[in-house]
Amino acid sequence: MYKEVKSLDEFNQVLEDNDAVLGYFSNETCNVCKVLKPQIYEMVQKNYPKIKSIYIDITEIPEIAAQNSVFTIPTIVVYLAGKETFRKSRHIGVTELQGMIERPYQIMFS
């Protein structure tokens, strides 16, 4: 499952400790987010096991959202080697996201 990040320090530590991180920015009141989150998690676990998936509740920790320029939910940000590689917001298709992850993931881990 996603690791729920509870502080800005923890968020920065996850980025530092992992080569690949998928950050799922959302909150508990977003119904679309609740439906999409398990689909994204399943796709990542099945196809990209070296990606660490984290969940950031922007209502609980707004400073992480601000630091990452997240202004809408859901927003997914993929970090490779500690740097933002790409992001997708609002209208997110699982297949589209998979296509975006595939090439950089293969380059990094092949």
Write down the pLDDT at residue 33: 87
**Residues in the chain with pLDDT values less than 50:** none
pLDDT of 57 reads 95
107 vs 40: CA distance, rounded Å: 21
Element (H, E) at 76: strand 75-80
Give the span between the Cα atoms of 95 and 66, in whole angstroms: 28
Answer yes or no: are the C-beta atoms of 20 and 105 closer than 8 Å. yes
- Which positions ≥6 away from 89 have C-beta within 8 Å? 70, 72, 73, 74, 75, 76
- pLDDT for residue 40: 93
Amino acid symbol at 100: M
Superfamily of domain 3-109: Glutaredoxin (3.40.30.10)
Spatial distance between the Cα atoms of 63 and 41, rounded to a whole number of angstroms: 24
pLDDT by residue (tens digit) across 77-108? Answer: 999 998 999 999 988 889 999 999 999 999 99
For the chain, domain boundaries: 3-109
pTM: predicted TM-score of the whole model, two decimal places: 0.92
Q: What is the pLDDT of residue 1?
A: 66
Q: HSE-up of 56 (CA within 13 Å, CB side)?
A: 30
- Output phi, psi for 74, to 5 deg: -75, 150
